């Protein structure tokens, strides 16, 4: 969870800034309150879908929420695109391939295949790994920056 060391802190800051309690947030994004508490403590990484729900709820950058940048972006962010389609597009933009991602991130071929075909989605920690490998932001990987 080292990659997500600032995530819990950022989530707590947003909750406080918006004057929202973890139970209210949990209900709003349809997760258990214990999950929000675990996120705030930094003991759990959000799933892809929960990360998207959080950035949509707080109308913030994924990179900011994950603690990858200290300043919110100045430009407007686009809605999140379907991950499989966007991942395939970003691989092409970045001049990478399924094989390269598998080898460099030590992933099985089936994991990357499932991501590319929208069967599964990476969790927040894996999104960070992929974005770092492709030298792009998580927001770019999600299609929020184009």
Q: Is 108 left (phi over 0), alpha (psi -120 to 50) or beta?
A: beta
CA distances 7 to 1, 12, 100, 126, 135, Å, are 10, 9, 28, 14, 20
Fold type of domain 2-65: 434 Repressor (Amino-terminal Domain) (1.10.260)
Helix 124-134 vs helix 83-93: crossing angle, to nearest 10 = 20
Question: Are 2-65 and 83-142 equal in CATH topology?
Answer: yes
**Domain spans in the chain, listed from the N-terminal domain onward:** 2-65, 83-142
Residue 2 confidence (pLDDT) = 67
Report d(CA 137, CA 66) in Å as an integer: 11
SS3 139: helix
pLDDT value at residue 1:
55
Instruction: Please list the ranges in the chain whose pLDDT falls under 70.
Output: 1-2
SS3 of residue 75 by DSSP:
coil
Tell me: the pLDDT tens digits for 20-37? 999 999 999 999 999 999
pLDDT at 12: 96
Q: What single DSSP character describes residue 68? A: S
With beta carbons less than 8 A apart as the criterion, state whether 64 and 10 touch: yes
Report which DSSP code applies to 66.
T
pTM of the complete model: 0.93
Of 61, 38, 42, residue with least CA distance to 51: 61
Tell whether domain 83-142 is in CATH 1.10.260.40: yes
């Amino acid at each position: 969870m080292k990659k997500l060391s600032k995530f819990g802190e950022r989530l707590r800051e947003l909750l406080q800034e918006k004057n929202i309690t973890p139970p209210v947030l949990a209900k709003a994004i349809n997760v258990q309150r214990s999950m929000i508490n675990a996120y705030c403590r930094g003991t759990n990484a959000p799933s892809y879908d929960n990360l998207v729900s959080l950035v949509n709820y707080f109308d913030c950058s994924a990179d900011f929420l994950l603690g990858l940048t200290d300043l919110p972006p100045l430009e407007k962010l686009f809605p999140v695109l379907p991950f499989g389609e966007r991942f395939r597009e970003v691989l092409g933009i970045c001049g990478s391939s399924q094989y390269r991602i598998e080898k460099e991130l030590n992933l099985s071929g089936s994991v990357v295949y499932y991501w590319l075909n929208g069967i599964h989605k990476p969790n927040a920690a894996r999104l960070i790994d992929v974005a770092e490998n492709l030298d792009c932001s998580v927001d770019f990987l999600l299609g929020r920056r184009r």
